[in-house]
Protein backbone atom coordinates (compact mmCIF):
# COMPACT_ATOMS: atom_id res chain seq x y z
CA UNK A 1 0.00 0.00 0.00
CA UNK A 2 1.26 3.50 -0.86
CA UNK A 3 2.36 5.43 2.23
CA UNK A 4 0.46 8.70 2.81
CA UNK A 5 2.04 12.06 2.01
CA UNK A 6 1.94 14.71 4.74
CA UNK A 7 2.63 18.19 3.40
CA UNK A 8 3.47 20.98 5.86
CA UNK A 9 3.29 24.56 4.55
CA UNK A 10 5.52 27.06 6.37
CA UNK A 11 8.65 26.45 8.44
CA UNK A 12 7.75 28.83 11.25
CA UNK A 13 7.20 27.91 14.89
CA UNK A 14 4.06 25.90 14.16
CA UNK A 15 5.24 24.21 10.96
CA UNK A 16 8.71 23.29 12.20
CA UNK A 17 7.38 22.04 15.52
CA UNK A 18 4.99 19.76 13.61
CA UNK A 19 7.72 18.46 11.31
CA UNK A 20 10.39 17.90 13.96
CA UNK A 21 7.88 16.00 16.13
CA UNK A 22 6.61 14.00 13.14
CA UNK A 23 10.09 12.94 12.06
CA UNK A 24 10.65 11.52 15.54
CA UNK A 25 7.26 9.81 15.79
CA UNK A 26 6.95 8.24 12.35
CA UNK A 27 9.09 5.59 10.75
CA UNK A 28 10.46 6.09 7.23
CA UNK A 29 8.00 3.54 5.84
CA UNK A 30 4.94 5.04 7.49
CA UNK A 31 4.63 8.36 5.66
CA UNK A 32 6.31 10.73 3.28
CA UNK A 33 6.77 14.12 4.91
CA UNK A 34 7.16 17.21 2.73
CA UNK A 35 7.95 20.67 4.10
CA UNK A 36 7.43 23.75 1.90
CA UNK A 37 8.82 27.17 2.82
CA UNK A 38 9.60 30.40 0.98
CA UNK A 39 13.17 30.56 2.25
CA UNK A 40 15.73 27.87 2.98
CA UNK A 41 15.94 29.24 6.53
CA UNK A 42 13.66 29.57 9.55
CA UNK A 43 13.57 32.94 11.29
CA UNK A 44 12.65 33.62 14.88
CA UNK A 45 9.72 35.95 14.27
CA UNK A 46 9.77 36.86 17.97
CA UNK A 47 13.28 38.33 17.56
CA UNK A 48 12.57 40.40 14.45
CA UNK A 49 12.14 43.64 16.41
CA UNK A 50 15.82 43.35 17.38
CA UNK A 51 16.98 42.84 13.78
CA UNK A 52 14.70 45.73 12.72
CA UNK A 53 16.22 48.13 15.24
CA UNK A 54 19.71 46.90 14.40
CA UNK A 55 20.50 45.67 17.91
CA UNK A 56 20.90 42.07 16.69
CA UNK A 57 22.33 41.06 13.32
CA UNK A 58 19.74 39.46 11.04
CA UNK A 59 21.86 36.30 10.75
CA UNK A 60 21.42 35.76 14.47
CA UNK A 61 17.64 35.46 14.07
CA UNK A 62 17.69 32.75 11.42
CA UNK A 63 19.05 29.25 10.85
CA UNK A 64 19.02 26.80 7.92
CA UNK A 65 15.94 24.58 7.84
CA UNK A 66 18.12 21.64 6.82
CA UNK A 67 19.94 21.90 10.16
CA UNK A 68 16.82 20.77 12.05
CA UNK A 69 15.17 18.32 9.68
CA UNK A 70 16.13 14.73 9.06
CA UNK A 71 16.56 14.64 5.28
CA UNK A 72 16.08 10.87 5.17
CA UNK A 73 12.54 11.38 6.46
CA UNK A 74 11.58 14.89 5.32
CA UNK A 75 11.72 16.30 1.80
CA UNK A 76 12.22 20.06 1.80
CA UNK A 77 10.89 22.22 -1.05
CA UNK A 78 11.90 25.86 -1.17
CA UNK A 79 9.03 27.65 -2.89
CA UNK A 80 6.16 30.07 -2.29
CA UNK A 81 2.69 28.71 -1.68
CA UNK A 82 0.03 30.38 -3.81
CA UNK A 83 -3.11 28.33 -3.19
CA UNK A 84 -4.48 25.10 -1.75
CA UNK A 85 -6.83 23.23 -4.11
CA UNK A 86 -8.71 21.27 -1.47
CA UNK A 87 -10.88 19.30 -3.91
CA UNK A 88 -7.84 18.06 -5.83
CA UNK A 89 -5.77 17.63 -2.62
CA UNK A 90 -2.91 19.62 -4.01
CA UNK A 91 -0.99 22.81 -3.30
CA UNK A 92 -0.10 25.26 -6.04
CA UNK A 93 3.39 26.68 -5.65
CA UNK A 94 5.04 29.45 -7.60
CA UNK A 95 7.21 26.89 -9.39
CA UNK A 96 5.13 23.73 -9.37
CA UNK A 97 2.63 21.83 -7.30
CA UNK A 98 2.57 19.17 -4.62
CA UNK A 99 -0.13 16.61 -3.79
CA UNK A 100 -1.05 15.61 -0.26
CA UNK A 101 -3.03 13.09 1.71
CA UNK A 102 -2.76 15.22 4.84
CA UNK A 103 -1.96 18.93 4.92
CA UNK A 104 -0.77 21.29 7.65
CA UNK A 105 -1.08 25.02 6.94
CA UNK A 106 1.36 27.10 9.00
CA UNK A 107 1.99 30.10 6.79
CA UNK A 108 2.06 32.57 9.67
CA UNK A 109 1.01 36.19 9.85
CA UNK A 110 0.83 39.11 7.45
CA UNK A 111 0.61 42.80 8.27
CA UNK A 112 -2.96 44.14 8.49
CA UNK A 113 -3.40 47.84 7.75
CA UNK A 114 -7.23 47.91 8.14
CA UNK A 115 -7.55 49.96 4.95
CA UNK A 116 -5.76 52.98 6.47
CA UNK A 117 -4.62 55.07 3.52
CA UNK A 118 -0.95 55.16 2.66
CA UNK A 119 0.22 52.64 5.27
CA UNK A 120 0.96 49.91 2.73
CA UNK A 121 2.98 52.34 0.61
CA UNK A 122 4.76 54.48 3.19
CA UNK A 123 5.04 52.48 6.40
CA UNK A 124 7.32 49.56 7.17
CA UNK A 125 6.19 46.38 8.91
CA UNK A 126 8.18 43.98 11.07
CA UNK A 127 7.27 40.82 9.16
CA UNK A 128 10.33 38.84 8.12
CA UNK A 129 14.11 39.03 7.70
CA UNK A 130 13.83 41.17 4.55
CA UNK A 131 11.55 43.77 6.12
CA UNK A 132 13.69 43.83 9.28
CA UNK A 133 16.84 44.55 7.24
CA UNK A 134 14.97 47.24 5.32
CA UNK A 135 13.86 49.04 8.50
CA UNK A 136 17.33 48.85 10.04
CA UNK A 137 19.01 50.17 6.88
CA UNK A 138 16.39 52.87 6.35
CA UNK A 139 16.79 54.32 9.85
CA UNK A 140 20.56 54.25 9.53
CA UNK A 141 20.33 55.98 6.13
CA UNK A 142 18.14 58.71 7.62
CA UNK A 143 20.75 59.40 10.28
CA UNK A 144 23.63 59.27 7.78
CA UNK A 145 21.81 61.60 5.38
CA UNK A 146 20.99 64.07 8.15
CA UNK A 147 24.59 64.28 9.24
CA UNK A 148 25.84 64.89 5.69
CA UNK A 149 23.17 67.23 4.27
CA UNK A 150 23.80 70.97 4.17
CA UNK A 151 20.23 72.03 4.83
CA UNK A 152 19.32 69.83 7.76
CA UNK A 153 15.90 68.16 7.70
CA UNK A 154 15.21 67.24 11.32
CA UNK A 155 12.10 65.23 10.38
CA UNK A 156 14.47 62.51 9.21
CA UNK A 157 15.27 61.88 12.83
CA UNK A 158 11.66 61.25 13.80
CA UNK A 159 10.57 57.63 14.06
CA UNK A 160 6.90 56.80 14.47
CA UNK A 161 5.81 53.38 15.70
CA UNK A 162 2.12 52.70 15.09
CA UNK A 163 0.79 50.45 17.83
CA UNK A 164 1.45 50.00 21.54
CA UNK A 165 0.91 46.26 21.50
CA UNK A 166 3.58 43.66 22.07
CA UNK A 167 5.46 44.20 18.80
CA UNK A 168 5.38 48.00 19.01
CA UNK A 169 6.61 48.13 22.60
CA UNK A 170 9.34 45.51 22.06
CA UNK A 171 10.55 47.39 18.99
CA UNK A 172 10.57 50.72 20.89
CA UNK A 173 12.60 49.07 23.65
CA UNK A 174 15.28 48.13 21.12
CA UNK A 175 15.08 51.48 19.36
CA UNK A 176 15.57 53.34 22.64
CA UNK A 177 18.90 51.50 23.00
CA UNK A 178 19.90 51.78 19.34
CA UNK A 179 19.20 55.49 18.77
CA UNK A 180 21.88 56.78 21.21
CA UNK A 181 24.39 54.53 19.39
CA UNK A 182 23.33 55.96 16.01
CA UNK A 183 23.60 59.50 17.39
CA UNK A 184 27.14 58.75 18.49
CA UNK A 185 28.02 57.14 15.19
CA UNK A 186 26.73 60.07 13.10
CA UNK A 187 27.57 62.96 15.50
CA UNK A 188 23.93 63.84 16.06
CA UNK A 189 22.51 65.52 19.17
CA UNK A 190 20.13 62.98 20.78
CA UNK A 191 17.75 65.84 21.67
CA UNK A 192 16.96 66.25 17.99
CA UNK A 193 15.62 62.69 17.69
CA UNK A 194 11.92 62.00 18.30
CA UNK A 195 10.51 58.54 18.92
CA UNK A 196 6.72 58.36 18.97
CA UNK A 197 4.43 55.54 19.91
CA UNK A 198 1.01 56.24 18.41
CA UNK A 199 -1.86 54.03 19.53
CA UNK A 200 -5.58 54.27 18.76
CA UNK A 201 -6.73 52.28 21.81
CA UNK A 202 -6.88 53.99 25.19
CA UNK A 203 -4.14 51.82 26.69
CA UNK A 204 -0.61 50.52 26.16
CA UNK A 205 -0.26 46.71 26.02
CA UNK A 206 -3.97 45.96 26.42
CA UNK A 207 -4.58 42.95 28.66
CA UNK A 208 -1.24 43.27 30.46
CA UNK A 209 -1.07 43.93 34.20
CA UNK A 210 -1.52 47.74 34.69
CA UNK A 211 1.36 47.99 37.17
CA UNK A 212 3.72 46.37 34.64
CA UNK A 213 2.41 48.62 31.88
CA UNK A 214 3.16 51.72 34.01
CA UNK A 215 6.67 50.37 34.58
CA UNK A 216 7.19 49.91 30.82
CA UNK A 217 5.79 53.30 29.86
CA UNK A 218 7.81 55.27 32.41
CA UNK A 219 10.98 53.34 31.51
CA UNK A 220 10.54 54.04 27.78
CA UNK A 221 9.59 57.67 28.42
CA UNK A 222 12.82 58.14 30.36
CA UNK A 223 14.65 56.82 27.33
CA UNK A 224 12.99 59.40 25.08
CA UNK A 225 9.85 57.69 23.76
CA UNK A 226 6.76 59.93 23.53
CA UNK A 227 3.40 58.17 23.82
CA UNK A 228 0.32 59.37 21.94
CA UNK A 229 -2.36 57.04 23.24
CA UNK A 230 -6.01 57.16 22.14
CA UNK A 231 -4.73 58.66 18.88
CA UNK A 232 -5.85 56.83 15.73
CA UNK A 233 -3.58 57.02 12.69
CA UNK A 234 -5.72 58.25 9.79
CA UNK A 235 -3.17 57.91 7.05
CA UNK A 236 0.47 57.82 6.03
CA UNK A 237 2.18 60.01 3.45
CA UNK A 238 5.74 60.24 2.10
CA UNK A 239 6.29 62.89 4.81
CA UNK A 240 4.92 61.06 7.85
CA UNK A 241 1.50 60.31 9.32
CA UNK A 242 -1.84 61.99 9.83
CA UNK A 243 -3.49 61.39 13.21
CA UNK A 244 -6.90 62.26 14.60
CA UNK A 245 -6.91 65.18 17.01
CA UNK A 246 -10.17 65.39 18.92
CA UNK A 247 -13.45 64.67 17.17
CA UNK A 248 -13.05 66.39 13.81
CA UNK A 249 -9.50 67.65 13.52
CA UNK A 250 -6.38 65.97 12.24
CA UNK A 251 -2.71 66.62 12.88
CA UNK A 252 0.37 65.78 10.81
CA UNK A 253 3.44 64.21 12.41
CA UNK A 254 6.36 64.53 10.05
CA UNK A 255 8.64 61.53 10.23
CA UNK A 256 11.45 59.99 8.21
CA UNK A 257 10.46 56.51 9.38
CA UNK A 258 7.03 55.04 10.08
CA UNK A 259 6.76 51.46 11.33
CA UNK A 260 3.29 49.91 11.46
CA UNK A 261 3.10 47.41 14.30
CA UNK A 262 -0.58 47.58 15.11
CA UNK A 263 -2.11 44.70 13.27
CA UNK A 264 -1.55 41.21 11.99
CA UNK A 265 -3.79 38.78 10.16
CA UNK A 266 -3.35 35.23 8.95
CA UNK A 267 -1.85 34.40 5.55
CA UNK A 268 -3.73 35.61 2.47
CA UNK A 269 -3.26 32.08 1.03
CA UNK A 270 -6.10 31.05 3.39
CA UNK A 271 -8.63 33.25 1.57
CA UNK A 272 -7.11 32.57 -1.84
CA UNK A 273 -7.84 28.88 -1.18
CA UNK A 274 -11.50 29.49 -0.35
CA UNK A 275 -11.42 28.58 3.36
CA UNK A 276 -13.95 30.26 5.59
CA UNK A 277 -11.85 32.62 7.68
CA UNK A 278 -11.68 35.83 9.66
CA UNK A 279 -8.75 37.97 8.50
CA UNK A 280 -6.88 34.91 7.29
CA UNK A 281 -7.52 32.88 10.44
CA UNK A 282 -9.59 29.69 10.42
CA UNK A 283 -11.63 28.83 13.51
CA UNK A 284 -10.34 25.30 13.93
CA UNK A 285 -12.01 22.24 15.45
CA UNK A 286 -10.78 20.98 18.83
CA UNK A 287 -8.34 18.59 17.12
CA UNK A 288 -6.83 21.51 15.10
CA UNK A 289 -8.47 20.51 11.82
CA UNK A 290 -10.22 22.99 9.54
CA UNK A 291 -14.01 22.54 9.71
CA UNK A 292 -15.22 20.38 6.84
CA UNK A 293 -11.68 19.25 5.98
CA UNK A 294 -10.70 16.05 7.78
CA UNK A 295 -7.36 16.01 5.97
CA UNK A 296 -6.26 19.60 6.78
CA UNK A 297 -4.76 20.93 10.00
CA UNK A 298 -4.12 24.61 10.67
CA UNK A 299 -1.32 25.75 12.97
CA UNK A 300 -0.10 29.05 14.44
CA UNK A 301 -1.26 32.48 13.33
CA UNK A 302 -3.55 31.03 10.65
CA UNK A 303 -5.56 29.18 13.33
CA UNK A 304 -8.16 30.80 15.53
CA UNK A 305 -9.15 29.32 18.88
CA UNK A 306 -11.57 30.90 21.33
CA UNK A 307 -10.51 31.26 24.96
CA UNK A 308 -13.77 30.10 26.55
CA UNK A 309 -12.95 31.89 29.84
CA UNK A 310 -13.26 35.32 28.23
CA UNK A 311 -15.03 34.33 25.01
CA UNK A 312 -12.32 35.95 22.89
CA UNK A 313 -9.71 34.44 20.58
CA UNK A 314 -6.33 33.59 22.07
CA UNK A 315 -3.79 36.12 20.80
CA UNK A 316 -1.58 34.62 18.09
CA UNK A 317 1.79 33.78 19.68
CA UNK A 318 4.79 31.55 19.11
CA UNK A 319 3.97 29.82 22.38
CA UNK A 320 0.52 28.68 21.23
CA UNK A 321 1.83 27.84 17.71
CA UNK A 322 4.42 25.42 19.13
CA UNK A 323 1.92 23.77 21.47
CA UNK A 324 -0.46 23.31 18.53
CA UNK A 325 2.35 21.82 16.43
CA UNK A 326 2.92 19.16 19.07
CA UNK A 327 -0.75 18.15 19.10
CA UNK A 328 -1.00 18.17 15.30
CA UNK A 329 2.04 15.87 15.03
CA UNK A 330 0.40 13.46 17.50
CA UNK A 331 -2.89 13.56 15.61
CA UNK A 332 -1.24 13.03 12.24
CA UNK A 333 0.65 10.05 13.66
CA UNK A 334 -2.67 8.58 14.80
CA UNK A 335 -4.30 9.18 11.41
CA UNK A 336 -1.38 7.58 9.57
CA UNK A 337 -1.78 4.55 11.86
CA UNK A 338 -5.55 4.51 11.28
CA UNK A 339 -6.33 5.39 14.89
CA UNK A 340 -9.34 7.60 15.39
CA UNK A 341 -9.02 8.92 18.98
CA UNK A 342 -7.50 12.30 18.08
CA UNK A 343 -6.21 14.60 20.82
CA UNK A 344 -7.92 17.83 21.72
CA UNK A 345 -5.85 20.99 21.90
CA UNK A 346 -5.84 22.96 25.15
CA UNK A 347 -3.60 25.97 25.61
CA UNK A 348 -1.28 25.89 28.59
CA UNK A 349 -0.24 29.46 29.29
CA UNK A 350 3.36 29.43 30.50
CA UNK A 351 3.39 33.21 30.90
CA UNK A 352 4.24 36.24 28.83
CA UNK A 353 7.35 38.39 28.86
CA UNK A 354 7.64 41.63 26.88
CA UNK A 355 11.18 42.90 26.37
CA UNK A 356 12.14 46.55 26.76
CA UNK A 357 15.48 46.29 25.03
CA UNK A 358 18.22 43.79 25.76
CA UNK A 359 18.51 44.70 29.42
CA UNK A 360 14.96 45.17 30.68
CA UNK A 361 11.54 43.54 30.37
CA UNK A 362 8.19 43.05 32.06
CA UNK A 363 6.25 39.85 32.39
CA UNK A 364 4.06 37.42 34.22
CA UNK A 365 5.64 33.99 34.56
CA UNK A 366 3.84 31.14 36.35
CA UNK A 367 1.48 33.78 37.75
CA UNK A 368 4.28 35.97 39.18
CA UNK A 369 5.04 39.50 38.02
CA UNK A 370 8.62 40.17 37.00
CA UNK A 371 10.47 43.29 35.83
CA UNK A 372 14.01 44.47 35.12
CA UNK A 373 16.93 42.09 34.83
CA UNK A 374 14.98 39.11 36.18
CA UNK A 375 12.35 39.56 33.48
CA UNK A 376 15.03 40.14 30.85
CA UNK A 377 16.72 36.88 31.90
CA UNK A 378 13.36 35.08 31.66
CA UNK A 379 12.82 36.48 28.18
CA UNK A 380 16.14 35.06 27.01
CA UNK A 381 15.25 31.70 28.52
CA UNK A 382 11.93 31.77 26.66
CA UNK A 383 13.80 32.53 23.42
CA UNK A 384 16.26 29.71 24.08
CA UNK A 385 13.45 27.32 24.90
CA UNK A 386 11.92 27.78 21.44
CA UNK A 387 15.30 26.83 19.91
CA UNK A 388 15.60 23.85 22.23
CA UNK A 389 12.15 22.50 21.41
CA UNK A 390 12.71 22.63 17.67
CA UNK A 391 16.42 21.99 17.21
CA UNK A 392 17.66 20.58 20.52
CA UNK A 393 20.69 21.60 22.59
CA UNK A 394 23.00 21.99 19.57
CA UNK A 395 20.76 24.72 18.13
CA UNK A 396 20.70 26.51 21.50
CA UNK A 397 24.50 26.35 21.55
CA UNK A 398 24.66 27.91 18.06
CA UNK A 399 21.89 30.49 18.24
CA UNK A 400 20.95 30.89 21.89
CA UNK A 401 21.04 34.11 23.89
CA UNK A 402 23.63 33.93 26.64
CA UNK A 403 24.37 37.61 27.16
CA UNK A 404 22.63 37.47 30.51
CA UNK A 405 23.33 40.60 32.52
Catalytic residues: 170
Nearer to ligand FAD, 39 or 237 (CB): 39
Find the shortest distance in angstroms from Cβ 170 to ligand FAD. 5
Give the nearer residue to ligand FAD in terms of CB position, either 109 or 391: 109
- Where b means 16+ CB within 10 Å and e means fewer, 228-238 reads beebbbbebee
The residue count for the chain: 405
Assess 13 for contact with ligand FAD (CB under 6 A).
yes
Q: Where in 161-220 is the site for ligand FAD (CB under 6 A)? A: 166-167, 170
| C-beta separation of 297 from 104 below 8 A | yes
- Asked if 317 touches ligand FAD (CB under 6 A), the answer is yes
39 lies in the binding site for ligand FAD (CB under 6 A): yes
**Is the CB of 39 or the CB of 145 nearer to ligand FAD?**
39
For ligand FAD, the closer of residues 301 and 326 by Cβ is: 301
Q: Distance between CA atoms of 107 and 298, rounded to whole angstroms?
A: 9
What is the per-residue binding string for ligand FAD in 128-167, x denoting contact by CB under 6 A?
Answer: x-------------------------------------xx
Q: Where does this chain touch ligand FAD (CB under 6 A) — which range of 43-51, 66-74, 115-123, 231-239?
A: 43-51
**Helix 372-399, helix 13-25: angle, nearest 10:** 50
Contact 289, 328 (CB under 8 A): no
Segment interacting with ligand FAD (CB under 6 A) among 97-105, 219-227, 316-324, 391-399: 316-324
Q: Exactly one of 135, 321, 335, 364 binds ligand FAD (CB under 6 A); which one?
A: 321
Buried b (16+ CB within 10 A) or exposed e, 313-324: eeebbbbbbbbb
Binding mask 347-376 for ligand FAD (x = CB under 6 A): ------------------------------
The site map against ligand FAD for 93-122 (x = CB under 6 A) is: -------------xxxx-------------
Q: State how far the Cα of 152 lies from the Cα of 156, in Å rounded to an integer.
A: 9
Of the candidate spans 36-44, 135-143, 192-200, 242-250, the one that interacts with ligand FAD by CB under 6 A turns out to be: 36-44
Stretch that binds ligand FAD, among 4-12, 66-74, 114-122, 153-161 (CB under 6 A): 4-12
As measured in angstroms, the least distance from the Cβ of 192 to ligand FAD is 27
Task: Count Cβ atoms below 10 Å from residue 103 Cβ, excluding itself.
Answer: 25
# residues near ligand FAD by CB under 6 A: 35
Task: Report 250-289 residues binding ligand FAD (CB under 6 A).
Answer: 267, 269
Task: Pick the piece of the chain touching ligand FAD (CB under 6 A) from 10-18, 66-74, 178-186, 279-287.
Answer: 10-18
Which residues, numbered 63-82, are part of the site for ligand FAD (CB under 6 A)?
80-81
Q: Does 48 bind ligand FAD (CB under 6 A)?
A: yes
Q: Which residues bind ligand FAD (CB under 6 A)?
A: 10-15, 36-39, 42, 45-46, 48-49, 80-81, 106-109, 126, 128, 166-167, 170, 267, 269, 300-301, 316-319, 321
Amino acid sequence: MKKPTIVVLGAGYGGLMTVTRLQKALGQNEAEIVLVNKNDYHYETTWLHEASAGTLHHDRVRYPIKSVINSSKVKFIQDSVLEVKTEDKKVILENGEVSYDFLVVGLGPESETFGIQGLKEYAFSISNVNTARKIRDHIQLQFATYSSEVEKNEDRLTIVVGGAGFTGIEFLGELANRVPELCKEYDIDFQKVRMYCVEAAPAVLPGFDPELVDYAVSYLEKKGVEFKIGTPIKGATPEGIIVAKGEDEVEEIKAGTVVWAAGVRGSSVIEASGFEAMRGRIKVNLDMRAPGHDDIFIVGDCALIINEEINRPYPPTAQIAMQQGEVIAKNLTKLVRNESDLETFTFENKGTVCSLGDDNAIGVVFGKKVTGKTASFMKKMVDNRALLMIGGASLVAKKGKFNVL
